[in-house]
Amino acid sequence: MADKINNPVAMWQKMVGDMEKGFNSFANQAMSSPEFSQAMNRAGGVAAGAQKQLGELMEKYLVTMNLPSREQVTGLAERLQLIEAQIGEMKAMLSQIAASSGIPQGSDGTPRPPRTKRPPSENGGQA
């Protein structure tokens, strides 16, 4: 406490902290009113409409510039994802084959530790 009294840096930090709390509390009170909700949602509705129109305009611009459309890029991404998924399935199959041969293995191919751990309380406090 004494340190805060004679330390200008600590005083400044406390002042900033108090200002933050005060402003947040004041703003929260103001934002709790139905009027705020009405104004915010009116502005938000306009922004959403504008965003949609801008998006459509950009699509037309890309077509004019002979650039790939979003749909085409998305199509490529989907094909990549399918390939990734197939690799994942193959890895899972390999793990299953390894498991059926009696070696517990992870998807990275390394052996898994045994599932025998007991909580420390049952081991006399040993982790």
Q: Tell me which residues in 35-94 interact with another protein (CB under 8 A).
A: 36-38, 40-42, 44-45, 48-49, 51-52, 70, 74, 77, 81, 84-85, 88, 92
Length of the chain, in residues: 127
Cα dihedral 28/33/39/45 (nearest 10): 80
Q: How far apart are CA 45 and CA 57, in angstroms?
A: 19
- Of 119, 121, 97, nearest to 109 (Cα)? 97
Cβ closest to another protein, residue 30 vs residue 61: 30
Q: How far is the CB of 66 from another protein (least distance, A)?
A: 21
Residues 68, 75 contacting (CB under 8 angstroms): no
Taking CB under 8 A as the criterion, the residue among 11, 14, 20, 61 binding another protein is 20
Q: How far apart are CA 58 and CA 61, in angstroms?
A: 5
Size of the site for another protein (CB under 8 A): 58
> Which positions touch another protein (CB under 8 A)?
2, 5-7, 9, 13, 16-17, 19-20, 23-24, 27-28, 31-34, 36-38, 40-42, 44-45, 48-49, 51-52, 70, 74, 77, 81, 84-85, 88, 92, 95-96, 99, 104, 106-108, 110, 112-122, 127
